[in-house]
Amino acid sequence: MAEPNWTRRDVLKTLGLGAVALGVPGRKVTAADAKRPNIVLIMSDDMGFSDLGCYGGDIDTPVLNSLAAKGLRFTQFYNTARCCPSRASLLSGLYPHQAGVGHMVNDSGFPSYRGDLSRSCVTIAEVLRPTGYRTYMTGKWHVTRFIAPDGPKHNWPLQRGFERYYGTITGAGNYFDPATLCRDNMYISPQNDPEYKPQEYYYTDAISDNAVRFVREHHEKTPEKPFFLYMAFTAAHWPMNAPEMAIAKYKGKYDKGYAHYRRQHFERLKEMGLVHKDWELSPQAGDWETVEPKDWEARCMEVYAAMVDTMDQGIGRLVTELERQGALDNTLILFLQDNGGCEEDMGRPANINEKWVGGLKDPKPMAPDELQPKASPPMQTRDGRPVRGGPTVMPGPADTYIAYGRNWANVSNTPFREYKHWVHEGGISTPLICHWPAGIQARGQLFHEPGNLIDIMATCADVVGAKVPRRYEGNEILPPEGTSLRPAFRGKSLGERAIFWEHEGNRAVRKGRWKLVSKHPGGWELYDIDADRTEMHDLASRRPEKVRELESLYENWARRCGVQPWPLKKPSQSKER
C-alpha cells in the first residue's frame, strides 16, 4: 500500500475539525482513523448542473448541501452526456468507447460498440476488492446488453467485482415496479423479495434502504475492513414517478414558469461563485405564456423535485448510519450525475395513449412472483391498470409514464446550452461533491479546474493505495485514462491535460481554457471557457490555428479509442479506424 501523502498532523487537524462539525467534541483520534477510507460513490440520473441547492437550485436537498458545506465542490466536472457511456467510464476509468460502450447497450459489431462492458477493463470494485475492500452496489447498472433472466450474466455486478447487489440491470423503468429488478444474481419483483418489505415500494427508497442495510451488515460482520459502495440512483430519469406525499411538498412551487427559475438559478450560481458573473445566460427554451396546459407542465416539475428530494433523504439515511458507526469522518463520499437534464419527450405527445393503452391486451393483476416485463409502455401496473401518458394525465402515480420535457431541462441545465446527448456544457456538466473530513481540507470551498468521470477510478485507487492491474483474469487491461483528484483535496492543481467526448457524432475536446465542440452533423465551434462557459461566442473563424490544434488532438484520440463515424454502419460496410 502506498504511503498516505498527508502528515499525521494534517490528519489530527482535519479530524479535529470534522469532529466539531459532526457535533462530537472531545472525540479522541485513534490508530483506526488513519486506516484506509470507506468510499461511497453516488451517481444520480438525468439531472442538470443547477438542480441541487448547493449548485444554485431550488429543490430541497439539505443532505447534499451539508456534505458540500463540509467538503469540496468542483465547478467544472464532466460526464459523457448519456447513461450507459457515463457508467462504463465511471466504473472503468476509461473513455466509454475503450470500455466497449461507445454508444448504448446494443451490439453494433465494432469492439468499441459492443454494448457490453469490455474485458479489457476492470471496474473500481475489481480493483479494490483484492486489496481487502468489501464491495457493495445498489441501483442502476446499465453496462450490459444481456438482461434476459436466463441469459449470460458475465457482466452483471456480481461478476464485475461486487459482493452484494440490489438494483436494476437495465436503464429505466417504472419506479413502483422497475423491470430487471435484481438481488445479487436473481431477478425479483417488489412483492416477492423476502429481504425487503416496505409499506409502499418506491425504487429510489429501495436503493437507499438496501445501501443502508449493506453498510449496517458490513459493520456487524466485518467492521475491521473498509468498504466500497456504489449507489446509482435512477432519480430523476423519466418517468416522473413519486409518492403523492413527496409531491405535495412542491405543490404550486413551479407556477411562475421557466424564465423565473432560470434567472433564480443563474443569480444564485453567480453569488455562490459557481459561475462567473460576466458569463451570459444561454437562450431560453420555453415560453411559459404560451405553453398549455400549465398545471400539467408545473406538475411535471413538482414530481421531478419530489424525486430529487426523496433521493436526498435516502442519502441522509446512509449518512446517519455512517455517523452512528463512527465511520463518517473516514469515508470518502462522492456525488455526481451521469448526464445533463433530459429533453426527450417520452410520454408527452397528446395522442400517446392510443398506442400505449390501445397496445395492451387484457391487463390483469400480476402475481407476486411475476416479473415486470416492460421497462416502458405499453405496460401495466402490478394491480392491472394500463400505464398512461399525455397532457391529460397528471404525472406521479404508478400508472403514469411522462418525462418533464425540454423546457424544464433547460431550467435544470441553467446557465448552459443543450441537454443530455449533446456535449455542449448543458449535456456534460455535473456537480461533484467530495466529502471526507479526514482526508479533505476544504469546508465548503470550490475547485475550479476541469475533471472528468475517468478520474474517479484513479482517485479511488490512489486513496486506497491500489494499482489498476495490467492483467486481470487472463485479460490484458488498458491503462486508466484519468488523473487522481487527490491534489484537489489539498487545494493543489491537477495539471493541464486534454479531455475528450464523442456521443452520437457530437464531439468535443477541452484543453486549458479552450473547448472545441460540434453538434452533429454541424461543424466545429470554438469557445474560450474561462471567458464564456455558456458557449455564446463562437471563436472558430477568428482562431483557425487553435481549431486545427484541438481538432488534431481530437482525431488522434478518436482513432486511439475506436470512435466510429456517426451514424454507425455495420463493420462490414465501414472501414475500421
Catalytic residues: 83, 142
Q: Which amino acid is at 563?
A: V
Edge to edge, what strands does the sheet with 181-183 contain? 186-187, 181-183, 164-168, 134-140, 227-232, 38-44, 331-337, 429-435, 72-78, 445-452
Q: What are the cell numbers at 26?
A: 472531545
Spell 387-397 as b/e; 16+ CB within 10 A means b: bbbbbebbbbb
Gyration radius of the chain over CA positions: 23
CB of 480 to Ca ion, least distance (A): 23
> At a CB cut-off of 8 Å and minimum separation 6, what does 515 contact?
508, 509, 526, 527, 529, 535
Q: For residues 153 and 199, give the distance between their C-alpha atoms in angstroms, rounded to a whole number.
A: 31
Element (H, E) at 408: helix 405-412
CB 460 within 8 A of CB 121: no
CB of 337 to Ca ion, least distance (A): 8
Distances (CA, A) of 409 to 239, 297, 443: 14, 12, 30
Closer CB to Ca ion, residue 72 or residue 305? 305
CB 315 within 8 A of CB 209: no
Closer CB to Ca ion, residue 66 or residue 376? 376
CB 430 within 8 A of CB 42: no
Distance of CA 532 to the CA centre of its chain: 25
**Which residue has the CB atom at the shortest distance from Ca ion?**
83
Q: For residues 98 and 503, give the distance between their C-alpha atoms in angstroms, rounded to a whole number.
A: 13
Q: What are the cell numbers at 546?
A: 487553435
Residues at the contact surface with Ca ion, assessed by CB under 5 A: 45-46, 83, 338-339
> At a CB cut-off of 8 Å and minimum separation 6, what does 87 contact?
43, 101, 140, 141, 142, 143, 232, 338
Q: What are the cell numbers at 150?
A: 436466463
CB 89 within 8 A of CB 451: no
Q: For residues 200 and 439, give the distance between their C-alpha atoms in angstroms, rounded to a whole number.
A: 39
Coil/strand/helix, residue 9:
helix
Closer CB to Ca ion, residue 342 or residue 461? 342
Q: Which amino acid is at 403?
A: A
Q: For residues 161 and 468, give the distance between their C-alpha atoms in angstroms, rounded to a whole number.
A: 13
Beta carbons within 10 angstroms of residue 2's beta carbon: 11
Q: What are the cell numbers at 164?
A: 452484494
CB of 433 to Ca ion, least distance (A): 18
Give backbone dihedrals phi and psi of 439, rounded to 5 degrees, phi first. -130, -5
Place of cell 463540509: 70
Q: For residues 476 and 479, give the distance between their C-alpha atoms in angstroms, rounded to a whole number.
A: 9
CB 403 within 8 A of CB 172: no
Helix, strand, coil % over all residues of the chain, rounded to 5: 30, 15, 55
Beta carbons within 10 angstroms of residue 413's beta carbon: 30
